[in-house]
Structure 1
């Protein structure tokens, strides 16, 4: 697995691999160096987009994009701690699949919000954009708060592929400074603590 430290997409894949108990080798790429290791000719030959994560299976299959990798792992390693309901369980399967893809809604809105937790964020030229990201993030978190008020995990009472996709988003926001309790997201805070206490979460910290 080619990965980058602090990367939500990389974190998603590591969480899935850890929960499934699949052994794998890690190849960390550094992006704070110059030139970035993701821009090397060696890595570009593997993924021309020069982005992580990239998963290379034992048979040489190369797959990019975190959500695609998660679905690949569940498809070809379903017997290793299944993370999706059986398709025959249509309602449960539908919900898990839906939440899995919904996780991108949160991932897509909070990027500029990171600057909100800098000491002098009000002095930045992007103040309005930061506030907009903050408002959009809270609006999106309200959906997830509602989901988690009625279930232990985002798609029911069982940890699923949807949690692999979603949890790193929340954990990252908390790491950057978001106070879920202060913002009124008690169910989300309980969910965060629940998943953080799982062995797979401890094993998957990027």
Structure 2
């Protein structure tokens, strides 16, 4: 397998963590895509992912899978324990729901803030920016953090009491928040304890 990525970016980090958690990290060849230099917009890369974003998982038979959650779904069904996406229909639906809430409210929102309300990746990478929209997304991030803290008051992880894809998405989201200097409020004690716990996992070391 190959993973086309830009190491350190949030979505490639999600795939790296999932690979490590599933014991598959050493079975993958990582291929650097120079996003800052525009390589993701070349015909060669767009043939792999017309959306022009990383990561992309390329299987040995040539099948290409994009979207981090879809890649993790594939990886989760390619190896045994631990299970990241649920063991049965109910668990799978619940984890997917929780993951999506964190993806939209934290990871995507902090990305919008970065790209619209800051210098982002530089003017050469943007056709349009909306600073007001970006600043609003920062309020979405903070609201989501509070909701996560409330949830963690009664749960060990972000989709129940076992580590899952929801936690992986949360880890990527908070790494992005740290990068753009959006801090987690100190009063969110459950959330801060969760962060300390998950970022102590061995898989966190391969994300950055």
Does the Cα contact within 8 Å between 2:10 and 2:175 map onto a contact in 1? no
Within 5 Å, give how 1:50-199 maps onto structure 2: 50-75=52-77, 77-87=78-88, 90=90, 92-106=91-105, 107-114=107-114, 128-182=132-186, 184-199=187-202
Does the Cα contact within 8 Å between 2:117 and 2:130 map onto a contact in 1? no
CA RMSD of aligned residues (A): 2.4
Change in Cα spacing, 1:174 to 1:41, as seen in structure 2 (3 Å) is: same
- Relative to the length of structure 2, the TM-score reads 0.81
- Relative to the length of structure 1, the TM-score reads 0.82
Deviations 1:164-197 (A, max 9, x none): 2222012210232122134x32222111111111
Change in Cα spacing, 1:132 to 1:105, as seen in structure 2 (3 Å) is: same
Aligned to 2:17: 15
Provide the secondary structure at the position in 2 that maps to 1:55. Answer: strand
